Amino acid sequence: MSDAIRFLLGDRERVLRDVPPTLTVLEYLRRHERRTGTKEGCAEGDCGACTVVLQEPDGQGGLRRRAVNSCIQFVAVLDGRQLLTVEDLKAADGTLHPVQQAIVDRHGSQCGFCTPGFVMQLYSGWLGQDYSERPEVKNWIAGNLCRCTGYGPIIDAGLAALDAERPGTAETTALAERLEALGHGEMLHLAHDGPHGRQEWFAPRSVDELAAIYLAHPDAVLVAGATDVGLWVTKQHRHLATLIDVTRIPELAALRDTGNELAIGAGVTHSAAMEALSALHPDLGKLLTRFAAVQIRNAGTVGGNIANGSPIGDLPPALIALDARLQLRKGREQREIALENFFVAYGNQDRAPGEFVESVTVPKLRPNTRFACYKLSKRFDSDISAVMAAFSVTVEAGRIASARLAFGGMAATPKRAKAAETALMGSAFGLEAFEAAAVALAEDFQPLTDMRASAQYRLLAAQNLLRRFALENAPAGRPVATRVLEIAHG
């Protein structure tokens, strides 16, 4: 067991002992290292001014690279990794990195506050060759906000840097080996006595270790991407006594295609899950591109999005519509439940003390099943849903044989619309059937009014999404525009 955080800050090794486990990476950089290039804008992972890059061995001789929001990442996550900030990009002689120089040449900075975050986000995409065209750059920087320049010059800079030479294989391998040697392979256990009491951090290395520790500390907070837990510290100023990091466990990071199903470990990030979920249905890939931003998708996990039980989580309604099953573990005991049954009430899930989400299994769609998911929010990028809807409808001989209609933002939990589903059963697939389902939807939900939408808007929007699904999946050979005109004119 290790009691110290060992990592590389740029090219220099750091060893940290007796630090608060919930000290954020941003606070560490600014207050302890005096690296003030990394900025605090929102302290909740929205603005991107604090973006840094983490690198770690990928187990195959290469590196896994992630841009993350340092304002909501805790310093313990640095263990065994390399942390890169904007100060690390320039050459030894002071020459700017090609991404930095491109920002200068294209006038991509004005007040300069957001610039380091943009530089690091573009740098991460440049390193991984994650973008090559203008729309891809726009998507890549969706989690970075600028109030001065507009985004045109910044996008120009991202494209201009593409031709610069990247680190070679030998350099990448050498860094991976150095990080492998730095990593101790043991569970990290930090303990710190602060002004508000004692704090402990555990980072188990196997699912068995996790099960044993969580059983011994059932009141501990499980931490994966910290995209929620980080805000408990930065916004609510909560004292978290015991935390368990679940991101060091290979079993939880596994993603397996078993032929008829996709098994996703609870620790799989949204970025890592995107390709596999897109293969199940293109709508799932489109949904994930609107799931916060790259930095959050690089940190947040599928299991975390489920386990926190939010009624406005984007992924649960889609997985419920697909009839996903959840695998839970407590000590040596394992059980499986339907995902929809996991959500009991607001803030209440079917999970006993010491029990954790191990994985989720998602069946693949059958050829005669029509699927779609829709997210409605005020902004296209980096916004929380007002209404999230996902529909899976099986058609046999032209009639609806089964239907799973799931919604988020309409109730205290992600929930199926059972009355609307019943209204569809046995009907011919068409707008008439879905009109009946839309009427029945008022029996399923009495949504609330809040800052994101009114109750009236939510219900009407949900009903219209059912109509949209009917139009988009109408019999082939009749263009959607034609069908819409026919409906409009009776």
Beta-strand relationship, 5-9 and 12-16: antiparallel
Across 286-290, average pLDDT? 93
pLDDT above 60: residue 477: no
Q: Are the C-beta atoms of residues 210 and 359 closer than 8 Å to each other?
A: no
**Distance between CA atoms of 115 and 121, rounded to whole angstroms?**
10
pLDDT above 90: residue 472: yes
Of 124, 361, 128, 364, the residue nearest 254 (C-alpha): 361
Across 125-131, average pLDDT? 94
Q: Which two tokens stand for residue 102?
A: 């491109």
φ/ψ (deg, to 5) at 48: 85, 0
Q: Which two tokens stand for residue 172?
A: 């990448």
pLDDT band at 59 (very low <50, low <70, confident <90, very high): confident
**Distance between CA atoms of 349 and 309, rounded to whole angstroms?**
7
Encoded amino acid at 240, one letter: L
List pLDDT tens digits, range 190-215: 999 999 999 999 999 999 999 999 99
SS (H, E, C) the chain: CECCEEEEECCEEEEECCCCCCCEHHHHHHHHCCCCCCCCCCCCCCCCCCEEEEEEECCCCCEEEEEEECCCCEHHHHCCCEEECHHHCCCCCCCCCHHHHHHHHCCCCCCCCCHHHHHHHHHHHHHHCCCCCHHHHHHHCCCCCCCCCCCHHHHHHHHHHHHCCCCCHHHHHHHHHHHHHHCCCCCEEEEEEECCEEEEEEECCCHHHHHHHHHHCCCCEEECCCCCHHHHHHCCCCCCCEEEECCCCHHHHCEEECCCEEEEECCCEHHHHHHHHHHHCHHHHHHHHCCCCHHHHHHCEHHHHHHCCCCCCCHHHHHHHCCCEEEEEECCEEEEEEHHHHEEECCEECCCCCEEEEEEEEECCCCCEEEEEEEECCCCCCCCCCEEEEEEEEEECCEEEEEEEEEECCCCCCEECHHHHHHHCCCECCHHHHHHHHHHHHHHCCCCCCCCCCHHHHHHHHHHHHHHHHHHCCCCCCCHHHHHHHHHCC
**Distance between CA atoms of 233 and 235, rounded to whole angstroms?**
6
List pLDDT tens digits, range 231-273: 999 999 999 999 999 999 999 999 999 999 999 999 999 999 9
Contact residues for 56 (Cβ-Cβ < 8 A; gap 6+): 63, 64, 80, 81, 82, 179
**Model confidence pTM above 0.85:** yes
pLDDT above 50: residue 485: no
Q: Are the C-beta atoms of residues 429 and 395 closer than 8 Å to each other?
A: yes
The pLDDT value given to residue 486: 42
What whole-number percentage of the chain has pLDDT above 70?
A: 97
The pLDDT value given to residue 183: 73
pLDDT above 90: residue 319: yes
Q: Are the C-beta atoms of residues 441 and 466 closer than 8 Å to each other?
A: yes
The pLDDT value given to residue 110: 92
Q: Are the C-beta atoms of residues 125 and 137 closer than 8 Å to each other?
A: yes
Q: What is the mean pLDDT of the chain?
A: 94
Q: Hey, what domains does the chain have and what are their CATH numbers?
A: 1-183 (3.10.20.30), 188-245 (3.30.43.10), 250-363 (3.30.465.10), 369-488 (3.30.390.50)
List pLDDT tens digits, range 410-428: 999 999 999 999 999 999 9
Of 80, 71, 78, the residue nearest 30 (C-alpha): 71
Q: Which two tokens stand for residue 415?
A: 């929930």
Task: Give Cα separations from 474 to 46, 395, 424, 468, 482 (angstroms).
Answer: 39, 12, 15, 10, 11
The pLDDT value given to residue 476: 61
The pLDDT value given to residue 484: 43
Radius of gyration (C-alpha) of the chain in whole angstroms: 24
Task: Identify the residue whose tokens are 């002071």.
Answer: 94
**Distance between CA atoms of 425 and 364, rounded to whole angstroms?**
22
